[in-house]
């Protein structure tokens, strides 16, 4: 398959010019949750270009998609297309199976931990450790960009640990509370 690719630019990434046939070959190995591979049914041409201003653009026929590599960590990719974010991991058949089994197991035992949805400052905590909360209850008031945001309980559960205190400044994704 390597023969089908011609590298055009070696700078930041290599941008590869490929034909529909190449895409079809790649697609054979692609796994989409919604099963969409419409591209194969249409005679579409694929082009990858770097614009004069340095943006990377993929054309499918004449439809243009602006792409950007946001994050790359081994085989995990975060890609932006037209400003929307997509996460992919590229796996071998074997590693994919293993990963799926692991994630299935994990979801069975997932604890509903509460993470900060945005960066901000904790201005009030409305639940106590070991207290029972109902879905929709206010748990924390988080001030971000001078707005007070209520953070609500996603499920009815018991608070087993509170990891922050009033006045703390938190980043997006920081663990705020653990539930049973």
Partner 1 sequence: MKRKESFKFNSLLIANRGEIAIRIISTAKKLGIKTFVLKTAKEPKALYLRYADEIIDLSERNNKDINEFLDIESIIEISKQYKIDAIHPGYGFLAENSLFAERCADENICFIGPASDVIYMMGNKTVAKEIAIKHKIPVTKGSVGAVNTVQEAHVIAAEIGFPVIIKAASGGGGRGMRIVNNDDELEKLFNLASVEAGKAFNDPSVFIEKYISKPRHIEFQILADEHGNVVHLGERDCSIQRKHQKLIEEAPAFALNAALREKMGNAAIKIAKAVGYTNAGTVEFLLDEKSDFYFMEMNTRIQVEHPVTEAITGLDLIEWQLRIASGQKLAYTQKDIKFSGWAIEFRVNAEDVEANFSPNQGTINKIHIPKGKNIRIDTGVENGSVITPYFDSMIAKIIITGPDRAKTIANARSAFNKFMIEGIKTTVPFFKAILNNEKFLSGNFDTSFIEKDLTEYNYREQNEEMVAALFAAMDFYKDEKLENESFIDYKKGKNLSPWLFNNRLKLR
User: Shortest distance, CB of residue 132 to partner 1, whole angstroms?
Assistant: 18
Query: Which of 6, 26, 135, 161 is the binder for partner 1 (CB under 8 A)?
Result: 26
User: Shortest distance, CB of residue 6 to partner 1, whole angstroms?
Assistant: 12
Backbone φ, ψ for residue 164 (5° rounding): -130, 165
Q: Which helix (H) or strand (E) holds 93?
A: helix 93-109
Residue 150's DSSP bridge partners are: 141
In the stretch 74-103, what mask flags binding to partner 1 with x, by CB under 8 A?
-xxxxxxxxxxxxxxxxxxx-xx--xx--x
Kindly identify the residues of this chain, within the stretch 114-173, that bind partner 1 according to CB under 8 A: 117-119, 123, 138, 141, 143-148, 150, 172
Kindly identify the residues of this chain, within the stretch 37-76, that bind partner 1 according to CB under 8 A: 37-39, 46, 48, 51, 53-58, 60, 63-69, 72, 75-76
User: Shortest distance, CB of residue 65 to partner 1, whole angstroms?
Assistant: 5
Backbone φ, ψ for residue 36 (5° rounding): -80, 120
Q: Which is nearer to partner 1, 105 or 117 (CB)?
A: 117
Indicate the SS3 state at residue 40.
helix
Query: Which of 23, 140, 153, 159 is the binder for partner 1 (CB under 8 A)?
Result: 23
Tokens representing 152 are 């609500």
Q: Which is nearer to partner 1, 45 or 85 (CB)?
A: 85
Q: How many residues belong to the site for partner 1 (CB under 8 A)?
A: 77
Give the C-alpha separation, 82 to 156, whole Å: 38
User: Shortest distance, CB of residue 129 to partner 1, whole angstroms?
Assistant: 21
Give the C-alpha separation, 40 to 28, whole Å: 10
Give the C-alpha separation, 68 to 82, whole Å: 9
Tokens representing 59 are 């054309």
Q: What is the CA radius of gyration of the chain?
A: 23
Q: Which is nearer to partner 1, 138 or 163 (CB)?
A: 138
């Amino acid at each position: 398959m390597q023969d089908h690719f011609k590298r055009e630019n070696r700078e930041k990434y290599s941008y590869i010019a490929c034909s529909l046939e190449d895409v079809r070959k790649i697609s054979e190995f692609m796994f989409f949750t919604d099963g969409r591979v419409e591209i194969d049914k249409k005679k579409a041409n694929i082009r990858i270009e770097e614009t004069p201003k340095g943006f990377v653009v993929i054309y499918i026929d004449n439809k243009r998609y602006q792409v950007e590599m946001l994050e790359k960590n081994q085989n995990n990719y975060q890609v932006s297309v037209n400003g929307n974010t997509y996460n992919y991991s590229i796996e071998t058949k074997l590693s994919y199976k293993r990963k799926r089994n692991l994630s299935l197991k994990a979801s069975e035992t997932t604890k509903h931990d509460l993470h900060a949805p945005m960066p901000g400052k904790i201005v009030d905590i409305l639940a106590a450790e070991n207290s029972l909360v109902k879905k929709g209850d206010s748990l924390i008031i988080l001030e971000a960009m001078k707005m007070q945001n209520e953070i609500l309980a996603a499920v009815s559960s018991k608070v087993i640990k509170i990891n922050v205190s009033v006045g703390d400044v938190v980043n997006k994704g920081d663990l705020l509370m653990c539930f049973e």
